[in-house]
Structure 1
């Protein structure tokens, strides 16, 4: 994607334990095939130095359906020299109006996480 293209889906990871962005965290975006009940990998990415991943999917590829973002939290904490309880976090969500913008932040510590739909 070019910098002029705006992804309709973005995410932001915040390391709330240390009060810093969740930088350089690997993640992947998947869409559920409703006929086969299988998750199809759409893209992989890494959060930037600000904990953001802004180019998850193009507007053309973003259709109604069930999606999930998988965050590789275990590897993130290991890279910081720490252990964690959750080896990964998956956020599953349903898109009914693909013309909207969706922002899914992940607030993370080594022993808890939360998320919400942002704008």
Structure 2
């Protein structure tokens, strides 16, 4: 299992947000991994392990809503988080055109 996973749910449509581009960067801004969510809105990113420190996931939310013909307030969402010593980090995103929520998943 990779060290970081995500799951995006489109709260407006009530469905997973598939095909959303997501990138993982370290604290210096260096890109570590990127990919697109699958049909269930899920994506695994990154190496098998990350060193302790700060990281960020950036979700291309504007492109997701533009493809649906929906105006959106956030062209992207960046979620910064700290890796300590857990073996796995799950960072879900609940998304709407004008708001989002995230949390440390399990």
Q: Kindly report the root-mean-square deviation, in angstroms, between the aligned alpha carbons of the 2 structures.
A: 1.0
What does residue 35 of structure 1 align with?
A: none
**Residue in structure 2 matching 1:59, options 43, 48, 58:** 48
- Give the whole-Å Cα distance in 1 for the aligned partners of 2:66 and 2:99: 16
- Give the whole-Å Cα distance in 1 for the aligned partners of 2:48 and 2:33: 14
User: Equivalences for 1:1-119 in 2 at 5 Å?
Assistant: 6-32=1-27, 38-54=28-44, 56-60=45-49, 62-97=50-85, 99-119=86-106
Q: How many residues align?
A: 106
What do the CA deviations read for 1:87-119 (whole angstroms, capped 9, x no partner)? 00000001111x421110000000100000011
TM-score of the aligned structures, taking structure 1 as reference length: 0.85
TM-score of the aligned structures, taking structure 2 as reference length: 0.95
Q: Any unmatched runs of 5+ in structure 2?
A: none
Give the drift of 1:42. 0.7
**Higher Cα radius of gyration:** 1
- Give the whole-Å Cα distance in 2 for the aligned partners of 1:42 and 1:17: 30
What does residue 3 of structure 1 align with?
A: none
Q: Any unmatched runs of 5+ in structure 1?
A: 1-5, 33-37
- Kindly report structure 1 stretches of 4+ aligned residues shifted beyond 4 Å: none
